[in-house]
Structure 1
């Protein structure tokens, strides 16, 4: 007699799955995006960069040059750590832009920042391990870490960053292995941590001997002013940084990285070898050629200018058209606005009513590891034109009026 498991539809199958697969949540965004693919729907639900801002012509020229001058090498196996010129670019940008003493040996190129989170989970999280995370927290990290069966310990997020009092209490009560956070233009809230909170978090984690995972996917998308000081500057030997080319170059290339001390990178490299041997060398070489031949700061400025205008437009329309009980964040960068609904309005119900008006939002529920978020929404402003933002917010305003 065979061994049979049950699928979610109670259909018998000749497989017995690992218990942890049952505990890993589906990507809420990916499921919702299936519903919002119809062209008539104005979607604020995803987290996509604007494709019109991708340097298609320049990247195509870089690809042509790579095939012309290094085609065979670009189609061969490569080292796990990543293409050396690309690692040097990342390390050099950390040195010039943020004043961090980074070297290429401390950089591991990954298949997008999502793989960075998966590798960190593999190396650091044992089943039952206490992992602190912002509340609300990035659902991609929640999903990646969930596969390794941690105990999530949420830390409330205020207007200027984590509640450091709550974090201090948590560090005293539990043996926290690591704290994951997004200090710059946080996903989902859009909040940027203050310099004070960055120093306080670093001091608390140093005293507790806990690691900080600093997800800096949106650090380059700051609308004005100098870059914020990374937490790693205050906690150099206890911080693992992750970054992504998806927001500033092209998400389809699936290129991200981890920046950490060499001994940490060595362990992560072994974990990556067991996962996929190496990130595709073809896309690494194409991106490295593009970065060598073009000034990346110019397209980043265009991206930031465009997103700032759209963020201001969306926020202003919310202020003008939504009920005054609706509150929202006012990001200084990134791709998202976080809104809180009046008491008694369910974000899931609003999502369903919005679809009937051909507008989609993302309910805040999957960003919470301990329940909550039923009255919150994440709104993406990066992947919609000004006209579609205006029309979409007007549709949502009509939906909100139906609750009156």
Structure 2
């Protein structure tokens, strides 16, 4: 068969490929980017689905508007208002099949062969693949523990004149970094100055462990005149409620949103109306605050346990910044005292010891740092985390 040439620009996900190795009995996985299924509010979701079928069974089981199920759009507007976004109406939301579809729709509507996109280095692997699929040249901007370096970002924007800048400002995947308030405002100012679309991907912002993070770019855009016209915001219920519902959304300038709606019509017509009706009923019932409080508590405990175990078991062989939220801990091998400094080799040794993680290399669009790796603390309890990190220490010493 002769396949589309655009497939030559991408390869299968390194993370998905890694999962093929995880069937070994007794393996402890820090590899996935999943929430813990044991924390799903099954009773609340069941009750919400039953209400959806009782109150509006025809609407819940029928085709729906491509833009989204109106009761859900209304609930999402209220959900976002609770996070400081008070000037977005229900009609401003395009409901998507997970936020991944929102990113794909942005690629379809904005990108063609040779277009340039700036992303963080490192960033979400699937985003790199998605944008490359549409022929874009993906350029990395450096990241530190305070998020993307805005001075370097401005130089890259001025040099490359990208179609888009894609950022995960809050508890980034994989870096765990959170963009400071000052840098957030600077990003919005750059969007206006250079008339460049900034895409804010925010699937983790509700998963904070202590104080809430700075407001989203969407919330802050009201303070930077003209920035809303150059901002697209992607959100999701996957990490805070259930990935299986596949509920995400896109808030974007009207002209972009209209074209995204058109492209969505070509791909799936509409996101599952039953899933949307269930999510709407769940939000309407007011369950989300309690759900968030529970998952924040559990993930905070696990993040602390993983950090403590890493310091104990690996010591000066690694460096990392303790995460303040999200699902991930980003680690760099230091090579201290001549120890291993290649995370790809380390990953193979770790698998042999019965523990899995994702090397950092595929998260970079350019200039990969082979000394880095991503650990997820979300799906293992404290005892499993301690045992898994002990195995990492054994693997490093092997």
Under a length normalisation based on structure 2, what TM-score does the superposition of the two structures give? 0.94
Q: Counterpart in 2 of 1:360? A: 356
Q: Counterpart in 2 of 1:105? A: 91
CA distance in 1, matches of 2:149, 2:114: 24
Give the 3-state SS of the residue equivalent to 2:153 in structure 1.
helix
Q: Counterpart in 1 of 2:288? A: 296
Give 1:87 deviation, angstroms: 0.8
CA distance in 1, matches of 2:23, 2:75: 36
Instruction: Tell me whether 1:373 sits opposite 2:369 in the alignment.
Output: yes
Give 1:349 deviation, angstroms: 1.1
CA contact (8 A) 1:367 1:373 kept: no
Q: Counterpart in 2 of 1:336? A: 328
Which of 305, 308, 311 in structure 2 is aligned with 1:313?
A: 305
Q: Counterpart in 2 of 1:224? A: 210
Instruction: Tell me whether 1:50 sits opposite 2:36 in the alignment.
Output: yes
Q: Deviations over 1:270-327 (max 9, x none)?
A: 1101111000101111111122224211110110111111111101111111031310
Q: Deviations over 1:243-269 (max 9, x none)?
A: 111011110111111012233221110
CA contact (8 A) 1:127 1:149 kept: yes
CA distance in 2, matches of 1:362, 1:101: 39
CA contact (8 A) 1:354 1:396 kept: yes
CA distance in 1, matches of 2:48, 2:65: 21
What are structure 2's unaligned runs of at least 5 residues?
222-226
Give 1:69 deviation, angstroms: 3.5
Give 1:68 deviation, angstroms: 3.2
CA contact (8 A) 1:216 1:243 kept: yes
Q: Counterpart in 2 of 1:396? A: 392
Map residues 5-404 of structure 1 onto 2, 5 A cutoff: 15-232=1-218, 233-234=220-221, 235-343=227-335, 344-402=340-398
CA contact (8 A) 1:98 1:227 kept: no
CA contact (8 A) 2:66 2:270 kept: yes
Give the 3-state SS of the residue equivalent to 1:98 in structure 2.
coil
Give 1:329 deviation, angstroms: 2.1
Distance verdict in 2 for CA 1:135–1:29, change over 3 Å: same
Distance verdict in 2 for CA 1:39–1:89, change over 3 Å: farther
Give 1:100 deviation, angstroms: 3.8
Give the 3-state SS of the residue equivalent to 1:176 in structure 2.
coil
Divergent runs of 4+, >3 A: none
Q: Deviations over 1:374-403 (max 9, x none)?
A: 11100000111111001000000111122x
CA distance in 2, matches of 1:180, 1:100: 23
CA distance in 2, matches of 1:251, 1:39: 25
What are structure 1's unaligned runs of at least 5 residues?
1-14
Q: How many residues align?
A: 388
Q: Deviations over 1:120-142 (max 9, x none)?
A: 10011111111000001111211
Distance verdict in 2 for CA 1:172–1:69, change over 3 Å: closer
Give the 3-state SS of the residue equivalent to 1:298 in structure 2.
helix
CA distance in 2, matches of 1:396, 1:299: 32
CA contact (8 A) 1:156 1:166 kept: yes
